[in-house]
Structure 1
């Protein structure tokens, strides 16, 4: 884990994460990032409004990485660059990072974060990174994939107009994959899917009562990355990631489930959002 924060952020991180997690690459000479989430119901959906101060993450560049950071990243099987929308130099960082680390046996993963407030960022990312054969997998929700399709299609407003239209989300993901060659891992309230050009594997989400939405996408990404590293079949990986997210959003204490808890949940054959049981 390579992140930038201050000493207070580092101390909170140490108190909250697994003690076995390597925190030696946490930079403490920056500023703490903070987010306030206001959650509620909108048109029958549990939604959240986030108010964020990105701290030093707003200006973290490839040059801020220490030599030890790069050496550690070079040894990884997968390198994920997350929440790019918070970083004003995010596109340059992504290009420099993945250009430096590019090798056949390393998986490069990117998560844009919500680009709604930074349309020029997503346009630049598409042009200078996603279309340059630097990224293997992109993790997106329905909002993010439509923004990517918008940028790829000469800012065609039809894509943004369909952010709330589930019937167009797969189309947007196909467009993104076909234009870039990247595997698109899409997570939505109704289903998750892996799209490789025009080949789609989709799995419904689980029928749970959500108590929180902030962090659901991050939890899904974590489960998806874990399944990718285990080389699970697409269907199994998507179901695993869906289970991780379902247990998190339905937790009264907003707690992430352990691996054993996810496996137990899946063994119980929980109901899917379409009313069927897992087989």
Structure 2
């Protein structure tokens, strides 16, 4: 394990474990009644929560994942992929349903569109998650992601999960993900209401603007901090990342690293892993953001073996160039 992490607490990742069926490259999205072809298609494990867990394992942590998989070959693929990345799957379980699959259409510009079959994710309940959240030493982190892909877990249920994480001595992190319904007022108010139970909120830029109702970085961060978190970190693609902690006088912005992006799937999830790594190491916020940006940059530059080691991230930090 990396020496930066000596004395750090355990890390728990809760949420959606599913398959992404990637289709690449797609030049133009088809209209209704049309067909398009791609040169490559392959399944990839393991959804937002799974991506973060695997990236953490590659960085040298041994995270615990809490969630379910389907009772088919895709479910076995998920568990095997997680274990291969040094993720503890002892708190994951098999539901008697087909594994959820997200068809991911990747454009020639590396942007994505998704169509998702929730499958086994429709079976996951609040009680099943709470029963599997481990008691840990103080100082650890619990990240909850993929809420909008878990139909049986409403906002009140998400609050119960976050409360339980705190009771079991974990600092809570939350990544809302995008709202497939288009950020309805119910969704916005639901996310705003649960943020009082979140220590670190890690949305992307569009999600943060939707929840805050603001469009300028300083206003977005200030608004979200008033809702309860101690720290808000915004993932902003080619613009890097933004952050502000409670009581801070100003925001922090760290630029992204210059790489050739080939697949941005899981970029934000890999960023989350890098952020957790830095926070667990006790680094200052600027260093945490730079490390997370670099980890995400490496991931989007690879189609296979995507998650970087800590040494690879440090190499990019020392030798890479940043976007303006």
Alignment TM-score, normalising by the size of structure 2: 0.70
Distance 1:60 1:106, change over 3 A: same
SS at match of 1:102: helix
Other-structure match for 1:206: 257
- Report whether the alignment pairs 1:135 with 2:201: no
Tell me if the contact between 1:220 and 1:242 (Cα under 8 Å) persists in the aligned partners: yes
CA spacing shift, 1:251–1:13, aligned 2, 3 Å: same
Pairwise CA distance, 1:59: 4.7
Q: Does 1:186 align with 2:252?
A: no
Q: Is the 8 A contact 1:73 1:79 kept in 2?
A: no
Give the structure 2 partner of residue 227 of structure 1: 278
Deviation of 1:14 (Å): 3.3
* Structure 1 unpaired stretches of 5+: 151-158, 163-167, 275-279
Q: CA deviation at 1:13?
A: 2.3
1:16-75 deviation digits (Å, cap 9, x = unpaired): 23444211111102431211111226xxx64210111122323522212374x13x1545
The alignment's TM-score, normalised by the length of structure 1, stands at 0.81
Match of 1:149 among 203, 209, 212: 212
Which of 122, 133, 144 is matched with 1:81 structurally? 144
Q: Is the counterpart of residue 58 in structure 1 residue 58 in structure 2?
A: no
Where does residue 112 of structure 2 map in the other structure? 48
Give 1:28's aligned residue: 94
Q: How far has the Cα of 1:11 moved from its partner?
A: 1.6
Does residue 271 of structure 1 match 2:321?
yes
**Secondary structure, aligned partner of 1:245:** helix
SS in 1 for 2:279: helix
- Counterpart contact for 2:258–2:323, Cα < 8 Å: yes
Q: Give 5+ residue unaligned stretches, structure 2.
A: 1-64
Decide whether aligned partners of structure 1 residues 170 and 116 sit closer, same or farther in structure 2, where only a CA change above 3 A counts: farther
**Offset at 1:170?**
3.8
